[in-house]
A = this chain, B = another copy of it.
């Protein structure tokens, strides 16, 4: 089984609220189907989640009642995105089954306290493709919190020990510095916890779930539970497919 995280920045237009990148989504769904691998899909929220979540500070949990309509609204928006992902996978010939974290996960102070893993296993056993996603969920201490796609990747990797865990991003791989600003920056073929000190993690991201350092930290954790943890560019045709087929591919290998 392979765990695939479709980054929100790959399948949505980062800057425009609740706007898809339909071409990228359709192609990636096609690559997953063409790989003929058993897959569990996690997708980020992208512009369907982060923009409104940041505006209403949902990542901080309950602050005041004015946030409550935004919780409902962001849950609604990420479901609309999830419906588009499910549709893309169905059109590619797969049998996706949507499992929303707001219904099956509970956090405690931002950490995952429980996730119904049995429901993932059962749908997989029947030949379905479980699809879950970054969502606003119940939190024992904060009332609600954001359960990111990366947090789900870690929980699923721990429980399901996938053959590979593939992070599909909008960059070719991990760089020691932002290649948009530092021309000399060369992509790292592998990255592990020991490399963290040499990586500039101050790059500004639109993510409400922890920035690059947080993302790398969770990827290192995921890498402990699989033989092969990779970050590949989902905006380049064929890279996800090659990664799923265990072929040589441009990307960064992540070690735990």
Contact = CB atoms under 8 A, between A and B. Distances in A.
A97 B100 CA distance: 11
Interface in A17-45: none
Interface in A73-113: 73, 75-76, 79-80, 83, 86-87, 90, 94-100, 102-104
Contacts of A122: 138
B98 A69 contact: no
Contact of A128 (B71, B94, B95, B126): B71
B76 A128 contact: no
Contact of A98 (B71, B79, B96): B79
A68 interface: yes
A77 to B, nearest CB: 10
B76 A83 contact: yes
A119 interface: yes
Contact of A83 (B79, B94, B119): B79
Contacts of A143: 126
A211 interface: no
B103 A68 contact: no
Given A83-B83, A128-B68, A144-B126, A97 B119 contact: no
A46 to B, nearest CB: 18
A99 B103 CA distance: 6
Interface residues of A, number: 34
A103 B75 contact: no
A68 B99 CA distance: 17
Nearest to A126: B143
Contacts of A144: 126
A76 B72 contact: no
Interface in A97-150: 97-100, 102-104, 116, 119, 122-123, 126-128, 138, 143-144
Nearest to A130: B103
Contacts of A86: 72, 76, 79
B119 A96 contact: no
Contact of A138 (B79, B119, B138): B119
16 contacts: A68-B95, A68-B126, A68-B127, A69-B90, A71-B95, A72-B94, A72-B95, A72-B96, A76-B90, A79-B98, A100-B103, A103-B104, A103-B116, A104-B116, A123-B138, A126-B144
